Structure 1
Amino acid sequence: MIGLLLIFLLIVVLLSFRIFYENHTFVMRYYEVEKKMGSQDEGGWKIVFLSDLHNKEYGSGNQRLLGAIRREAPDLILVGGDMLIRSTGEKSEHAAAFLERLPAIAPVYCANGNHEQKMKECEETYGEAYRKYRKRLADSGIHMLENEADTIWIRGQRMQIGGLEIPVSFFTKQFPWKHHETYREESPEKQMPGQFDLRPVSEGGPYKILLAHQALYAETYAGWGMDLVLCGHLHGGVVRLPGIGGVISPQLTLFPKYSGEHSRFRDCDIIVSKGLGGHSIPIRLFNRAEVIVIRQKS
């Protein structure tokens, strides 16, 4: 009996050390996406995708994180939301100070997550915190995408980048999760694809990228005609199991289909970030925080 107890305590200690380690380190995760037929690009482009920092700092002023991004020399930096923790303003400093240094590395396009969205929707609680945060980022040269799509040229490739805003109600904690079947009917953001040139790249259309924080609707976004969908929010499922993936979503969905991987659905690449920080459940196990680097195959 004592032997079993010692083994149990040893396992707890080892797992605690592992969780501590994963909460204070990150990895560079590399994915490749197919080159679309008809593309006239001059060479494979490189995109850095960041999500769910939640005010986390890796070194003073996030120097370790900034250094890792600089070394990649990306053509484009995309930000998928939840870089701060919702507050009246005091908790956005670390995130804003980090983000406003990114345009010196590459063009930056940023969409909102549920934390930014709640600050925006609930001014009676958060005052002008979101507007001040948004202005600070925009003044630094970051392109803020709030149900908007912008066109950019990268290495001869015409791209359209859209940022989808999802109402806070679609992030509520419910069990069982009720919004899977109602998103199309209830959400006004279903009109977002209308801002895109939806012609395939092979027919002269742009390469279409959608930043959409909530990964539970990844296949819905892909069905809109996107070439690349980038999501976050699920923090990798908190704990990841080999061969299974993430265990739980913030909406209490068990074993979400998309939680931190690169998948293909129809003709669309879906990439879900495990994020860089944590919030409600500050645990990571077999689930390293990550900076995602996306390369186009030559």
Structure 2
Amino acid sequence: MITVIVCLFFLALLVLLRIFYENHTFVVTRYDVDSGTNGTGDDWKIVFLSDLHNQEYGEGNEKLLRAVRDEKPDLILVGGDMLIRSTGEKSEKAARFMEQLPSIAPVYCANGNHEQKMKECEEEYGKAYQNYKKRLVDAGIHMLENEACTLKLGGQNVQIGGLEIPVSFFAKQVPWKHYDSFCDESPEQLMPEQFDMRPVKDGGPYKILLAHQALYAETYADWGMNLVLCGHLHGGVVRLPGIGGIISPQLTLFPKYSGEHSRRGESDIIVSKGLGGHSIPIRLFDRAEVVVICGRQEK
């Protein structure tokens, strides 16, 4: 009996040490996608960051900044929840980190549920969101709040949109009320109307959607996006081989998309495991990550 107790103690200790390690380190995860240009454009590289939640890797987040710089990206995309919602005191680390990104590459940023709640609930958070946004915009970051913009990337036209959905779509509920569509719940179903929906092969732009809530990944793909980038689920907290993440912040068990690259029709869906933690500050077999996406010519 004593042997069993000792073995369980050391197993629990190893698990705790692993969780501590994973909460304080990150990896660079690389994915290739088809840029759809069929030889008419150049390859491109995007760094995708999400869910930092004020985490710091080294003094002033220098380790994280160095990892981004070393990739020499053409573009940096941010998927939201870089801070922890507050009246402002918990946004300083995130703001300082974000302000340094435009010196590396152009930055386009969408909001997550933490920024969205600060934005929706001024009576609780005051002008904290507006102050945070101003710092980012003054640093040269393009904020995408239910809007899309067009730019050149690798010689091809690319449209990038940032989707915002009300914080009610992030509520913790058991069982979780999963809205199958936005049609009757919010106006964000109109987001596709901001995109040129022609296929790339017919002269349309390559379409990228930043959408924080990964539980609707298939909805976004079905809108006709070429690349859907999500976060929020923190990799599912604990990842199991062949299964993936086990739980979402909404307490949904075994979410289909939680930290991987998937294909749905003509769309690539990439969900970041995020860089920090908040609601469930645990990671097990679920390293935080910087996501690097390379757009390649179709072979």
TM over 0.5: yes
Shift of 1:34: 1.3
Q: Is the 8 A contact 1:38 1:203 kept in 2?
A: no
Partner of 1:28: 28
Q: 1:117-168 CA distances to partner (integer Å, 9 max, x unpaired)? A: 0000000000000000000000000000000101010120110000000100
Give the letter aligned to residue 28 of structure 1: V
Query: What per-residue deviation string (whole Å, max 9, x for no partner) do you get for residues 249-277 of structure 1?
Result: 00000000000000000100000000000
> Secondary structure, in 3 states, of the residue corresponding to 1:91?
coil
SS at match of 2:70: helix
Paired residue for 2:258? 259
Q: Would the aligned equivalents of 1:39 and 1:157 in 2 still touch at CA under 8 Å?
A: no
User: 1 CA distance for matches of 2:184 and 2:243?
Assistant: 31
Structure 1 spans left out of the alignment, 5+ residues: none
How far the C-alpha of 1:37 sits from its partner, in A, is 4.5
Cα distance, 1:281 vs. partner? 1.0
Aligned to 1:175: 174
* 1:107 paired residue number: 106
Q: 1:11 — aligned with what? A: 11
Once residues 29 and 185 of structure 2 are traced to their aligned partners in structure 1, the CA distance between those partners, rounded to angstroms, is 35
- Give the residue type in structure 1 aligned to 2:262: S
Is the Cα contact below 8 Å between 2:181 and 2:219 reproduced in 1?
A: no
User: Any idea what the Cα deviations from partners look like across 1:66-99, whole Å, max 9, x if unmatched?
Assistant: 0000000000000000000000001000000000
- Structure 1 residue 184, shift from structure 2 partner: 3.3
CA displacement at 1:187 relative to structure 2: 2.1
3-state SS of the aligned residue for 1:119?
A: helix
Q: Distance between the aligned counterparts of 1:167 and 1:290, measured in 2?
A: 26
Would you say the 8 A contact 1:209–1:230 is kept in 2?
yes
What residue number does 1:185 align with?
184
Please give the per-residue CA displacement for 1:267-298, whole angstroms capped at 9, x wherever unaligned.
00000000000001110000000000000123
Aligned residue pairs total 297
* Structure 1 residue aligned with 2:271: 272
CA contact (8 A) 1:81 1:110 kept: yes
Contact 2:182/2:188, CA 8 A, preserved across alignment: no
Q: Residue 60 of structure 2 aligns with which residue?
A: 61
Counterpart contact for 1:147–1:165, Cα < 8 Å: yes
Given that residues 118 and 129 in structure 2 are in contact (C-alpha distance below 8 angstroms), is that contact kept between their aligned partners in structure 1? yes
Letter in 2 for 1:260: G
Question: 1:232 aligns to what?
Answer: 231
Q: Secondary structure at the match of 1:286?
A: coil
Structure 2: gaps of 5 or more residues: none
SS in 2 for 1:222: helix
Q: Does 1:123 align with 2:118?
A: no
Structure-to-structure mapping, 1:70-81, within 5 angstroms: 70-81=69-80
- Report the secondary structure of 1:32's partner residue: strand
Give 3-state SS (helix, strand or coil) of 1:218's partner: helix
Q: Which amino acid counterpart does residue 79 of structure 2 have in structure 1? A: G
Change (3 A) 1:37 1:76: closer
Q: Distance in 1 between matches of 2:68 and 2:183?
A: 36
8 Å contact 2:35–2:206 — kept in the other structure?
no
Distance 1:285 1:179 in 2: 26
Is the counterpart of residue 135 in structure 1 residue 134 in structure 2? yes
Report the TM-score, using the length of structure 1 for normalisation: 0.98
Structure 1 stretches of 4+ with a deviation exceeding 3 A read: none
For residue 224 of structure 1, what is the amino acid of its counterpart?
A: W
Q: 1:210 is matched with which residue?
A: 209
* Aligned mates of 1:244, 1:183 — CA distance in 2: 28
Q: Give percent identity, aligned residues only.
A: 72
Task: Check 1:240–1:111 CA distance in 2 against 1; reply closer, same or farther (3 A cut).
Answer: same
SS in 1 for 2:281: coil
Give how far 1:175 is off: 1.3
Does structure 1 conserve the Cα–Cα contact (< 8 Å) formed by 2:237 and 2:247? yes
What is the SS of the residue equivalent to 2:161?
A: strand
- 1:45/1:37 Cα in 2 relative to 1: closer, same or farther (>3 Å)? closer
